[in-house]
Chain A
Amino acid sequence: MTELNEAPTGASRGGDGAEPLLKLRGIDKHFGPVQALYGVDLDLPAGQVTGLCGDNGAGKSVLTRCIAGAHQPDHGEMFFEGRPVHIRSTRDASALGIETVYQDLALADNLDIVQNMFLGREALSRGLLDEDSMELKAAETLKGLRVTTVRSIRQPVASLSGGQRQSVAVAKAVMWNSKLVLLDEPTAALGVVQTRQVLDLIKRLRDTGLAVMVISHNLNDVFEVADRVAVLYLGRMVAEGPVADFDRQSIVEYMTTGTASGRPYEPAASASGEV
């Protein structure tokens, strides 16, 4: 994929005041009598990594699925590149350039790396699978992300290590002109070295101008890669701002009580997190 190697172009690189790639305003979602999200606002700027934190049941997964098109919010607005959008299915999300890497990665062990990366979007020539072009394109994408530790991109995914699998899943997500990548607990099952590998990969995604949202329990990872932090507490967005506004202590307090030192989050510069 060539655009991965190119420097980010245009104004999409999210500086202060720039229009975020994806903007959520007042997202509500309930399942029967259970309210999962209360008027959630969230900005996901291009060229930045946003860490989404929250305790179990805070609504991280529901919010992710709303963005990915797996759920539809009951109320609220979404703006993609400034235009209002309705994401009704995962297909809609893919069409916009939103790709999700779920925690279980969704790779077929018996298929090789190329086959997995192109699953559902195979290249054909004269009705038959065009293996050679797919292999070239997959190799190019992996090279662009500097995922170079696999011995052969024709080896079955079953033979890969956890970090390599995560890398393949991410590469699969970014190969399709994606602009926003949602990563659900990307380092949860990984050892130290492999976590390092995946975090480096996330940074490279950001450096190519993609908007990245990382859902993580692991605050080490959040502070390592995130430019911005958003904290959900019982379905409400209690804090959202640049990572410099937070320290480990305050994030934990926001996650567990919704406030830090008894006070709600107040953004230092731009207005955002409404409680």
Chain B
Amino acid sequence: MTPDRETPVTTDPGETPAGTTGVGTADLTLDAQVAEVDIPPQLVAQSLGEYMRASLLRIRSGNSGVLPVVMAIVIVAVVFQIITPEHAFLRPSNLVYIFGLSTVYMILAIAETIVLLIAEVDLSVGAVALIGGAIAFKLVQQPGPNWPWWAAILAALVICGAIGALQGALVALLRIPAFVVTLGGFLLFSGILIIILGGADSTVSLNTDVPNQNFIYDMVQGLITPVIGWIVLAVVVVAAGTSQLRRLAARRRRNLVAPPLSLTVIRIALVAIVGAAVVIVCSVNRGTSLKHVTGIPWVIPIVLVVLGAWTLALQRTRFGRYIYAVGGNPEAARRAGVSLPKIRIWAFALCSATAALGGILLGSFFYGQYSTNTADPGQLVLYTVAAAVIGGVSLFGGRGKAIHGVLGGLLIGGIAYGVSLLNLGSLSTPLTYILPGGVLLIAVLIDVSSRRGSGGVTGV
């Protein structure tokens, strides 16, 4: 912790439920100031003002959840809007395209987050994702296997999950560093990908006239009409909002600390506003005056479902809890009866299965064309790890959420597309590496410094 922290402690310890019973024991928190910043503000704040002060304190200690990446996204958006020719960056057509482009990074970053949380890394995530996409695209070919779309997707997820489990087993059972195992996997599967595609020059493409193949094409390219978009948004906001408020009410009934009502209402309102903004942007005609293009790409709800599923799995299930425990202190988890190999293998397997979905969406984004030129697995994995870390997932394990991967992926996609809009000619390609690389280094610096900070607290 930095020594110059002189901010006064704002909340009264007597207000916490544990504190009110403090009869006969003095408050021995010698470093209350330091400890203060490590406590999520919603735990101690009883009013909105207190919450804001506690949040500020936490942000200054580099320990602040999604806020840095959200601010980075805003900064990137503003800067590119100013410097792109004709100020084109924030045009609705571009925003929708950026989301499509970012999809693969978002999904892969969620996948990578799972492995990063257990303090490992998966460098094969790009190659495995491309294999997943290629498998699904191959299996729906007609003439060819002509599998139904859902079976093809399921097969891709299962095969990639098995690949992940295999790599995970090498890491978990033989304790070979994940870096080495997945680096080998990255090269191995990059080669196998070319075999699956049928040679370095061949392309597997979807025939959009066949409904079965068109479904996979539509996963990114298909559009929901704005009216349905509004209805879905309203249903989601109302359902999520009431369930949040009911949980809060239940906690209050049982005399547990709950964040102030105003805060929850503001949060629900923010979600509603962001959702409404997305629907409005998607409702603007992105085509020409002759051919109207409006609607919300399918991929937006798909990403939200993946995000929701992983948020639920990581925050509300036993498996998720063990993921965090293994990342935080494997020895503690082992003594608590958690099987470390089992959790590690499952983490790698689910990472690869999630990545496979990202690979399928990537092919769909490229108008249903899959070839070795679709994406470079090496660049894909670098962008993925960068997205997760920029989003706020710790490289050292145990800290981060699925939402961090999504926001990091959006930032990376935004930078990549913004640079391509700049018409810099020969400078454009180097910048697509340099900018994310620079942002990644800054994110890692923040990660390291905050880790050092919270480590210092324990040395009492």
Interface residues of A (CB under 8 A from B): 90-91, 102, 104-111, 115-116, 119-122, 124, 127-129, 132, 135-136, 139, 142-143, 146-156, 158-165, 191, 193-194, 197, 200
Contact = CB atoms under 8 A, between A and B. Distances in A.
Contacts of B266: none
6 contacts: A122-B321, A148-B22, A151-B39, A152-B44, A160-B35, A194-B28
B318 A139 contact: no
Contact of B21 (A148, A165, A197): A148
B333 A108 contact: yes
Interface in B62-89: none
A121 B333 CA distance: 11
Contact of A148 (B25, B337, B460): B25
A70 to B, nearest CB: 9
Contacts of A90: 335
Interface residues of B, number: 55
Given A135-B256, A148-B22, A152-B44, A163 B28 contact: yes
A119 B321 contact: yes
B328 A110 contact: yes
Interface of B: 11, 13, 16-19, 21-32, 34-36, 38-40, 43-44, 250-251, 254, 256-257, 312, 316-318, 321, 324-325, 327-329, 331-333, 335-338, 398-399, 454-455, 457-458, 460
A146 B250 CA distance: 26
Given A120-B336, A156-B38, A164 B318 contact: no
Nearest to A162: B460
Question: When A and B form their complex, which 9 residue pairs have the shortest distance between CB atoms, in order from nearest?
Answer: A120-B336, A159-B38, A108-B328, A110-B398, A110-B328, A106-B332, A148-B22, A108-B329, A119-B336
B113 to A, nearest CB: 14
A154 B328 contact: no
B317 A161 contact: no
A149 B22 contact: yes
Given A110-B399, A155-B35, A150 B325 contact: no
A111 B328 CA distance: 7
A151 B13 contact: yes
Given A106-B331, A106-B332, A132 B17 contact: no
Nearest to A154: B43
A165 B16 CA distance: 18
Contacts of A139: 17-18
